[in-house]
Structure 1
């Protein structure tokens, strides 16, 4: 299934820019957790659709996307990223940021390491791939994470009549 954005860097830069706007330092591990959470909730909220073409692996510290992790290891990489994401994606990411952006890296790491998806992948071996289907199932069940309706709020449109 194709992803709704071209690459994982678009999502990484979006989170990095949000942190910058709010004068918050975004630790590399926190960025990884936010990207993992975004991919999982997007899959739940949009019936299996993929937010970004990314492969997450179960590292001992928590889930990481190894390409983005390596690229950001020495700071923000010089990569051409989209300035504007599709409105639906941007609204979704805003919900993720509002819900989880203020969490500490440790809190996010603890939360995602408790998910069934992470545990199953880590049991297969350190740095084993975390399958999208497992992420979707784990976050849909909301075992160790908030339910999708607590994260992604539906937009309410009002007319002039109210």
Structure 2
């Protein structure tokens, strides 16, 4: 499994390939029909990607999960049932919010990108549902201390169990 970020030359090659035929202002056809298909199809585990629309949809995800969690975290400390009414937040766990997502009851692990506002830095949470364990990957561990990382993860560790209870995944 690769955990390293792609290097700049690889990102440029991917961006160049991805943007061939891209028509961002066209609401119905995001890619020119001659540039839509991927041949041969790419395989990511059990998913065969045959169209650039897969990448487009993945790139169009609305509000990141950790942002939604942070927004309800303070409220959930004051209002007992605050999370029960958060259908938008629950839709992440049911697989309805993110393209190509699965319901959390059908998976063992979830990857959660976490943006650290105070540090303007992304970290990755790897949530093991069965063992109730979150591993956090921080590429700037030399400059961003564990205390800052724990502060960024705290809302997740408090809100996720409540969400799982709401969905009867526990």
- TM-score interval, smaller chain: under 0.3
TM-score by length of 2: 0.26
Larger radius of gyration between Structure 1 and Structure 2 = 2
TM-score, normalized by length of structure 1? 0.26
Q: Select the structure that is richer in strand.
A: 2
Greater helix proportion: 1
Greater RCO between the two (CA within 8 Å, min separation 6)? 1
